[in-house]
Amino acid sequence: MSAGAPDGGTRVRELPGARVAYDLVGSGPPVVLIHGWACRRSDFAGVAADLARDHRVLSLDLPWHGDSTATSARWTMDDLGALVDAVVADEGLRGAPMVGHSMGVAVAIEAVLAGEGQRIIGLDGLTFMHMYPRQPADRRDATLMPYREDFPGAVHGLCRRAAAPDTDPALTAEIAARMAGMDPDAGVRMLGALLDWDMDAALGRADALGLHITALAAGAMLAPEVVQAYGHRFEIIPVDLGGHFYLLERPAETAAFIREALAA
């Protein structure tokens, strides 16, 4: 069941294993916004406000993130996609284009595969070869080890590496502090689930259904080998808006790129 709220107020959807908080604002063609690992829907606040001028915008907190809660720490990308699809279906927005940031792109793909729709836009997701495709067990364990040993320290290090040279250090520190507040056990498990996600298999299913995927990759972080390996599987467009969290650095410009991708 769900509890509604006026536009601008938090809505809640009760689902098996999770209580999901989300916002629904604006009017016009619908679009769904999905945050990244250890992030929250408020990261999309500026983008959502801009898009809401001519779109119906749904943004949600995934389990263990932001205002959402969960009874289990084990969530695969398939599980998260099914959860997003349930919320979207409850609001009558199935088939809406989905915009995901980082891990949110994987969730968006699985959500569309669980429901319906043909348009996915990624904000700096799918384009990191050390994360995608599915990682071998030894590399997966090596990636997770720092987070198991010192979750806050590993998160702060991740955010510093993900920043562009001109990113405001204060913003990077603010993002890292929020992310480091995630429950460490749930955070490590969900990061492990992302590393276990079989992107190649998901792309195969997406191809069979005619899904159109556009990755708006932070240009300064886009490696040529990614374009070579996956440029024929989905559309990769470099954007010069900052580092990995460019949606927070340049929300209005991010919204403009999303509009262009939707129009195309």
Q: Does residue 177 surpass a pLDDT of 50?
A: yes
Which one-letter amino acid corresponds to residue 143? T
Q: Does residue 1 surpass a pLDDT of 50?
A: no
By C-alpha distance, which of 22, 16, 18 is closest to 3?
A: 22
CA atoms within 13 A on the CB side of 91: 28
Which one-letter amino acid corresponds to residue 213? I
199-255: per-residue pLDDT in tens? 999 999 999 999 999 999 999 899 999 999 999 999 999 999 999 999 999 999 999
- Which two three-digit tokens encode residue 61? 């907190």
Average pLDDT over residues 68-95: 96
Average pLDDT over residues 144-173: 97
Average pLDDT over residues 128-157: 96
Average pLDDT over residues 7-26: 92
Share of the chain above pLDDT 70, in %: 97
pLDDT of residue 149: 98
pLDDT of residue 110: 98
pLDDT of residue 5: 65
Contacting residues for 201 by C-beta, under 8 A, at least 6 apart: none
Average pLDDT over residues 122-133: 95
Cβ distance 60 to 22 under 8 Å? yes
pTM for the full model? Answer: 0.96
Does an H or E element contain 101, and which?
strand 98-101
Average pLDDT over residues 115-132: 95
Average pLDDT over residues 24-29: 96
By C-alpha distance, which of 70, 86, 68 is closest to 78?
A: 86
Does an H or E element contain 2, and which?
strand 2-3
Class (C level, CATH) for 2-134+197-263: alpha beta
Q: Does residue 2 surpass a pLDDT of 60?
A: no
Q: How far apart are CA 198 and CA 138, in angstroms?
A: 16
The CA distances from residue 113 to 79, 129, 199, in Å, are: 12, 23, 13
Q: Does residue 6 surpass a pLDDT of 70?
A: no
Q: How far apart are CA 180 and CA 187, in angstroms?
A: 9
Average pLDDT over residues 129-136: 92
Average pLDDT, the chain: 95
Q: Does residue 20 surpass a pLDDT of 70?
A: yes
